[in-house]
Structure 1
Amino acid sequence: MKRFSQMIRNARTEKHGQESKQQPLTTTTPQAPTRPDHVAVQEPVSQASASVPATPGGPTLNIALQNQTASATVYAYITGRALDNNNDLFLLLADGHTPYFPQSPSAIGAEIPENTAITLGAPGNTVTVTIPHLAGGRIYFSIDAPLTFFLNPGPALVEPSVTNPSDPNINIDWGFAEFTFNHDQLYANISYVDFVGPPVALDLTTFGGQSQHISGMPVDGLDRVCEGLRAQHAQDGKGWDRLIVTQNGRNIRALSPNQGMVLHPDLFANYFEDYIDQSWKKFSTQSHTIDTQASFGKVACKTSGSKITFGGSQFVKPSTRDIFSCSHGPFQTGANVETNTIIPRLAAAFNRSTLLVSNSFPADRSLYYQHQVTNHYSRIVHEANLDGKGYAFPYDDVQPSGGPDQSGEVHAGDPKLFTVTVGGRNAWC
């Protein structure tokens, strides 16, 4: 059985959504790359108990949305692709139970004619909603103001943007969690790949009586991240503080380096280049292996001029932008399956800066972020989560076989209740 962390992220590349960018509205979202089955294989979840209450529209899942902010004005939105309805674009209406399949508009930037804002009520309140099978699902939260979505021909959803100054949501405090719920199981994770916003926690209970919990950040989690970014800039002067977005003197979000470089093209110029050169030199003088954690097994490294070869796959030197994006340059996936299993592990090694301290990859967690040149955003984000878990860069689920999960995911073949909490006031580990 395929690992469902692959399936949820592959679903992102189906582009059910388009992000509001500079101009025009037809610009598509810079999605995470299409990925192979790059995660270390775990024991498959038994499908024998994967029954959920059935409705005329197919199997469904109850999701409890809990408000643990200090605001009585919190909204939730659920979007995805309806697997049992031709993979059509899906939004849940404001009543929390009625599916909405929008028609393709005749022009870009069309308003959504239905109310899809689910109100969560007073702090501490929980609203339970019901969804069908969805791929590439997102649960959005916004605090003190509703979000604005648009439709493009397709239909395609124009999602809120954190890099377009003219986006109507740019000054709203919002965030999201990601999930896929299909015929085999639910897979969900906390996502910080694009930015850090309001704290989100996940809980999953199953019909088999099991429970899973991802803590997320405490109520001041964003402030902790921003403090860490300012401290890192004070230490190395590399501009980490420019990832912080404020409004009226308060922190509203912290952008990932990949998104920060969209707003500030000069940010992190040549940041990784010296580290890259040191790594290439080490590749040429020492033996290295990458465990593909797949049928290709462990592949050895060879050097040829300015290129390195793992197994049958050649890689040129990446740039800083390539490393932060995990999808450009040598990290762009393609038709070669072996290459597609190597890319995530190599990209993760660069972001975690383990190439100079280990000769086998994925490396042990104790070696992550120890070099002065590293993805400090990811380091700081993990430190701010109470359990250290969260998806902070596109391949943050890469781990040694048998190693602990870093990505903040829950999954089960027999999900009974999926609880998503926003605000962090009751965060625990």
Structure 2
Amino acid sequence: MLRTLKSRLAATTVVAAVAGTLLTVGPSAEAAVPDTIPFKITNNSARGETLYIYNLGTQLSSGRQGWGDANGTFHAWPGGAEPPVPAPDAAIVGPAPGQSATIRLPKFSGRVYFSYGKKIDFRLATGGLVQPAMQNPTDPNINTLFNWSEYTLNNDGLWINSTQVDMFSAPYTVGVKRANGTTLTAGALKPGGYQNFFNSLQAQGGGWEKLIQRAPNGTILRAIAPLYGVETGKLSPSLLDDYINRVWQKYRTTTLTVTPFADNPSVKYYGRVSGDVMNFTNSSGAVVTSFVKPDSASVFGCFNKLDAPNDLVRGPISRTLCSGFNRTNLLTNTNQPDVSAASFYKEPVTNIYSKKVHEQMVDGKAYGFAFDDVGHHESLVHDGSPVEASMTVQPLN
């Protein structure tokens, strides 16, 4: 049940191909991005507990895993062990309620964690940092209220997002201040959105309410993502089977056309099912990749039978399939990706978790699953010459 940091940055490690669109950056970008940038943390939580901040990730210049201190200085993790051993204390005390504080972000691909009232228990295994795994009831952080943002800061700029790929918990927004003085933000909930999400999920039934985790005193801590619901038996492993089977049946006699790059519509792949396999061909008719019929876990996790390597063929096709399965719009449009939000989540059995996350966002944008960036429905901000990044933690209401 343990997961290491190097494998779960789905939202920020696709910097070169966000939403299937290749990004190009001018030659002056390297000079525009210093080694560290200010990161302003504002505590609007109205909670009296100490706020702890962690800046963890991979140093891009060396490829080493470690943490950044308040000054942005990199510290490599020492070697781990099996069973995992406690990691060095990387906590930074955050601002008091109603206050702000500024630390510095180094050039990382990583995460900024925050927790209330208790430090996060991080461990080091032989493979690297072990992240909290809330699908594991024995995780030492199971009763700690925490969350995280994901970011990449490199020579091409800053990408920073809020994420609900693994869980929906303590709310926050992220932002980037640009050289012209304007600020881009993402991740804002509607008024009452935090409680409305949990109330709606609780009322859904069908096992979806079992995704909600509570502290010993009954207060809500988080909702885990549906992949973990399937893995832990809270959701049926056959939850999406009917829809998956209908998709596979449709494309035995109909062609699924995938145009994965919004800025290059001439690149198309054509999918048809034979047996339990969907084969994709290119414009010349050559098979370029194939997918065995996925199961619910593969769909919710965008992995396993829907694996998406960081290439320019299988990965982009898989991202498109994954988004179509989670949004359940593969039957209504044979040309994918269908990125109109009006077509999303219309099936009675769909990714209810992601649907309800999006419903509570001010702008409708979130990372409800790993490839929610297909069609730019993700809660991400980017700038090539960032002046300052920010995070504002919000009240739980």
31, 50, 57: which is aligned to 1:80?
57
Aligned AA (2:231): V
Aligned AA (1:350): F
Contact persistence 1:177–1:191 (CA under 8 A): yes
Secondary structure of the 1:414 match is: coil
Secondary structure of the 1:415 match is: coil
Which whole-Å deviations, capped at 9, do the CAs of 1:46-86 have from their partners, x for residues lacking one?
Answer: 553554575xxxx11111111111223111111011123x2
Which whole-Å deviations, capped at 9, do the CAs of 1:334-381 have from their partners, x for residues lacking one?
Answer: 597422221110111010000121111111221001111110100000
Q: Is residue 418 of structure 1 aligned with residue 385 of structure 2?
A: no
Alignment partner, residue 286 of structure 1: 254
Alignment partner, residue 184 of structure 1: 156
33, 41, 51: which is aligned to 2:21?
41
Aligned AA (1:322): S
Q: Is residue 253 of structure 1 aligned with residue 245 of structure 2?
A: no
Secondary structure of the 1:198 match is: coil
Alignment partner, residue 318 of structure 1: 294
Contact persistence 1:190–1:409 (CA under 8 A): yes
Which whole-Å deviations, capped at 9, do the CAs of 1:101-130 have from their partners, x for residues lacking one?
Answer: 2322566433334x4221223212111011
| Distance in 1 of aligned mates of 2:323 and 2:329 | 9
Which whole-Å deviations, capped at 9, do the CAs of 1:387-425 have from their partners, x for residues lacking one?
Answer: 2111110111111xxxxx211111111000101111248
| Aligned positions, number | 382
Q: Identical aligned pairs, as a percentage?
A: 29
Once the two structures are TM-superposed, the CA of residue 39 in structure 1 deviates from its matched residue by 2.1
| Distance in 1 of aligned mates of 2:199 and 2:311 | 42
Aligned AA (1:144): G
Q: Is residue 138 of structure 1 aligned with residue 108 of structure 2?
A: no
Alignment partner, residue 3 of structure 1: none
| Distance in 1 of aligned mates of 2:341 and 2:231 | 29
Unaligned segments of structure 2, at least 5 residues: 282-286
Cα distance change of structure 1 residues 203 and 28 upon mapping to structure 2, 3 Å threshold: closer
Alignment partner, residue 284 of structure 2: none
Alignment partner, residue 6 of structure 1: none
| Distance in 1 of aligned mates of 2:309 and 2:57 | 25
| Distance in 2 of aligned mates of 1:228 and 1:378 | 12
Q: Where does 1:53-202 land on structure 2 (aligned, <5 Å)?
A: 54=34, 59-72=35-48, 73-84=50-61, 86-93=62-69, 95-105=70-80, 108-113=83-88, 115-135=89-109, 137-153=110-126, 156-202=128-174
Aligned AA (2:125): N
Aligned AA (1:323): V
Q: Where does 1:230-379 land on structure 2 (aligned, <5 Å)?
A: 230-233=202-205, 238-247=206-215, 248-264=217-233, 267-293=235-261, 297-311=267-281, 312=287, 313-329=289-305, 331-333=306-308, 337-363=312-338, 364-379=340-355
Contact persistence 1:216–1:390 (CA under 8 A): no
Aligned AA (1:349): G
| Distance in 2 of aligned mates of 1:245 and 1:324 | 19
The worse-fitting range, judged by mean Cα deviation, of 286-295 and 200-209 is: 286-295
Once the two structures are TM-superposed, the CA of residue 262 in structure 1 deviates from its matched residue by 2.8
Contact persistence 2:36–2:107 (CA under 8 A): yes
Secondary structure of the 1:348 match is: helix
Once the two structures are TM-superposed, the CA of residue 246 in structure 1 deviates from its matched residue by 1.2
Contact persistence 2:57–2:111 (CA under 8 A): yes
| Distance in 1 of aligned mates of 2:191 and 2:82 | 41
Secondary structure of the 2:387 match is: strand
Contact persistence 1:65–1:420 (CA under 8 A): yes
Alignment partner, residue 15 of structure 1: none
| Distance in 1 of aligned mates of 2:141 and 2:294 | 34
Contact persistence 1:382–1:388 (CA under 8 A): yes
Alignment partner, residue 207 of structure 1: 179
Once the two structures are TM-superposed, the CA of residue 295 in structure 1 deviates from its matched residue by 7.9
Alignment partner, residue 371 of structure 2: 395
Cα distance change of structure 1 residues 105 and 280 upon mapping to structure 2, 3 Å threshold: closer
RMSD: 2.6
Which whole-Å deviations, capped at 9, do the CAs of 1:140-161 have from their partners, x for residues lacking one?
Answer: 010121112122346x222222
Which whole-Å deviations, capped at 9, do the CAs of 1:173-213 have from their partners, x for residues lacking one?
Answer: 10000001011111111110100111110111112434211
| Distance in 1 of aligned mates of 2:80 and 2:304 | 32
| Distance in 2 of aligned mates of 1:42 and 1:343 | 16
Unaligned segments of structure 1, at least 5 residues: 1-19, 22-26, 400-404
Contact persistence 1:389–1:408 (CA under 8 A): yes
Cα distance change of structure 1 residues 316 and 49 upon mapping to structure 2, 3 Å threshold: closer
Cα distance change of structure 1 residues 53 and 286 upon mapping to structure 2, 3 Å threshold: closer
Secondary structure of the 1:39 match is: helix
Aligned AA (1:205): K
Secondary structure of the 1:269 match is: coil
Contact persistence 1:289–1:298 (CA under 8 A): yes
Cα distance change of structure 1 residues 360 and 101 upon mapping to structure 2, 3 Å threshold: same
Secondary structure of the 1:324 match is: helix
Runs of 4+ in structure 1 deviating by more than 6 angstroms, as ranges, are 32-36
TM-score, normalised to structure 2, is: 0.88
| Distance in 1 of aligned mates of 2:126 and 2:148 | 24
TM-score, normalised to structure 1, is: 0.81
Alignment partner, residue 16 of structure 1: none
| Distance in 2 of aligned mates of 1:335 and 1:219 | 38
